Amino acid sequence: MDLILKYFTNLTEDQISKFQQLEALYQDWNLKINVVSRKDIDELYLRHVLHSLGIAKVVEFKDGSKILDVGTGGGFPGIPLAILYPNCSFHLVDSIAKKLKVVDEVVEGLGLTNVKTTHSRVEEINDTFDFIVSRAVAIMPTFTHWVKGKIAKEQKNDLKNGILYLKGGDLTEELQDYKTATIYNLSDFYSEEFYETKKVVHLPLKYRG
């Protein structure tokens, strides 16, 4: 938890309390339904919470922004971002029901009112968003295909509407056809070794009305 306070210094009491509660909620629910590996649960804040919040180091979502988290699994990056941005709305989607059960329990346990969850493949979601966030779900060509038509027309944030994807390693090949993509190194923001190779990829996408 100290890690979160180290990198996010303006949190309210309510946000601090919610981030603190994550540990017990995930420990409890992960015993019943395994969505996070045992090793990772011991390092929940380093590997999941702080990683998810890496997106907030790249763009500060304006109030009223709508964000879709594709393949949220146990709620990452959606839940930490929803705590950080209580005035933005988050739609967390996953095609596996038991994972969303954990997400729903965590959302209820925290009393988060800005999170909606849907059990479906993302292709079935019929809505538009300022940003589509994700981690560890699909390679970029597949992902862009899935989310086509889900980007809002009006830009209200400093970054253009589009995808914000948490990725690792060498992305040269995967992103060679995406000339408009910008890669942000999380090691520029976080000093922990875990972040040496971690990145946020921003890919602006056009509204297709």
Query: HSE-up of 42 (CA within 13 Å, CB side)?
Result: 2
DSSP 161-199: SEEEEEEES--TTTTTT-TT-EEEEGGGT--SGGGTTEE
Q: Residue 97 or residue 209: which is nearer to ligand SAM going by CB?
A: 97
DSSP 136-160: SS--HHHHHHHHTT-B-SS--SSSP
Annotated binding-site residue? 76 = yes
Does position 76 interact with ligand SAM (CB under 6 A)? The reply is yes
Count of C-beta atoms within a 10 Å radius of residue 105: 17
Q: Which of 96, 108, 153, 208 binds ligand SAM (CB under 6 A)?
A: 96
**CA–CA separation, 93 and 78 (whole Å):** 9
Least Å distance, CB 2 to ligand SAM, is: 22
Q: Residue 135 or residue 154: which is nearer to ligand SAM going by CB?
A: 135
| Site map (CB under 6 A) of ligand SAM, residues 26-55, x = contact | ------------------------------
Does position 95 interact with ligand SAM (CB under 6 A)? The reply is yes
Q: Which of residues 144-203 bind ligand SAM (CB under 6 A)?
A: 146
